[in-house]
């Protein structure tokens, strides 16, 4: 089973709203990732959690706040977003193996629209 | 310089034909992994196939095979017997080094259209 789930599938929010994206995996993976993807572009890495600790933050604005409550869950808290933050937000997980594939498996994404 | 280059913005193929999607990469790290993902219009990134830098044989997964030419730094995806459901964006990606939790570096993608 290589399933990563994400909720909600679609989200529309105003610039003053606070919302959260949720990601869950039950594959025993120890690394989890947030990516942002604009239309017709490749995904851009935002954050990496390794063993529930933030290991990579790609200089993401503070209006995006990640949280990893446990090894299966990853949240992305959103506050005071801008219209240019509208995008597909993808979550991924991987086993965190030192050598070899460490394949990242992606969820279906959340399509976010900021009005 | 781009680390992953996909030179074909769009490719068109008829059902049941084979198609090759090009990918070249650039790294000085001797340990790396190469991945191909498929992204249909629904948005989900679907893992297709993996090739490690030390693998002696080309990877295969069903109708997908990876033509790995290490000296030329190319990792082309070959899809045999195309199906209508293969229409999607395809991304080549690389992971440099064997350190765990390393980010993937993606190419710009190739849109594949399969017609009947």
B56/chain A closest Cα distance in angstroms: 13
Q: What is the mean pLDDT of chain A?
A: 92
Give me the pLDDT at residue A108, please. 95
CA distance B91 to B9: 11
Give me the pLDDT at residue B2, please. 80
| Residue B68 contacts A, CB cutoff 8 Å | no
A41: nearest CA partner in chain B = B108
Work out the average pLDDT over B4-20: 97
A54/chain B closest Cα distance in angstroms: 11
Does residue B3 or residue B103 have the better pLDDT? B3
* Statement: residue B24 has pLDDT above 70: yes
| pLDDT interval class at A69 (50, 70, 90) | very high
Give me the pLDDT at residue B100, please. 66
A&B contacts, CB < 8 Å = 73
Work out the average pLDDT over A55-79: 94
B46: nearest CA partner in chain A = A106
Residues of A within 8 A of B35 (CB-CB) are 101, 103-104
| pLDDT interval class at A32 (50, 70, 90) | very high
* Statement: residue A100 has pLDDT above 70: no
What is the CA angle B28-B97-B51, rounded to 5? 90
| Residue B38 contacts A, CB cutoff 8 Å | no
Give me the pLDDT at residue A4, please. 96
Give the DSSP per-residue string, B31-94: -EEEEEEEE-TT---EEEEEEETT-SS--EETTEEEEEETTTTEEEEEE-S--GGG-EEEEEEE
Percent of chain B with pLDDT over 90: 91
Give me the pLDDT at residue B99, please. 73
* Statement: residue B101 has pLDDT above 80: no
Percent of chain B with pLDDT over 70: 98
Beta bridge partner(s), residue B94:
B34, B105
* Statement: residue A98 has pLDDT above 70: no
pLDDT in tens, B59-95: 999 999 999 999 999 999 999 999 999 999 999 999 9
Percent of chain A with pLDDT over 70: 95
Give me the pLDDT at residue A21, please. 98
Residues of B within 8 A of A30 (CB-CB) are 100
């Amino acid at each position: 089973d290589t399933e990563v789930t994400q909720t909600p599938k679609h989200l529309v929010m105003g610039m003053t709203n606070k919302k959260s994206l949720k990601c869950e995996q039950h594959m025993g993976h120890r690394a989890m990732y947030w990516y942002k993807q604009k239309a017709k572009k490749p995904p851009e890495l935002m954050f990496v959690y390794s063993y529930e600790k933030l290991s990579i933050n790609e200089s993401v604005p503070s209006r995006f706040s990640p949280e990893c409550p446990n090894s299966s869950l990853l949240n992305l808290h959103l506050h005071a977003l801008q219209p240019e933050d509208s995008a597909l937000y993808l979550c991924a997980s991987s086993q965190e193996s030192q050598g070899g594939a460490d394949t990242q498996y992606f969820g279906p994404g959340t399509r976010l629209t900021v009005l | 310089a781009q680390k992953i280059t996909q030179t074909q913005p769009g490719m068109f193929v008829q059902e049941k034909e084979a198609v090759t999607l090009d990918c070249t990469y650039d790294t000085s790290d001797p340990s790396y992994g190469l991945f191909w993902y498929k992204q249909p219009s629904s948005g989900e990134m679907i893992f297709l196939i993996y090739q490690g830098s030390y693998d002696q044989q080309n990877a295969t997964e069903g109708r997908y095979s990876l033509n790995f030419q290490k000296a030329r730094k190319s990792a082309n995806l070959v899809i045999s017997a195309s199906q209508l459901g293969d229409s999607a964006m395809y991304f080549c990606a690389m992971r440099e080094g064997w350190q765990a939790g390393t980010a993937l570096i993606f190419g710009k993608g190739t849109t594949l259209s399969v017609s009947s």
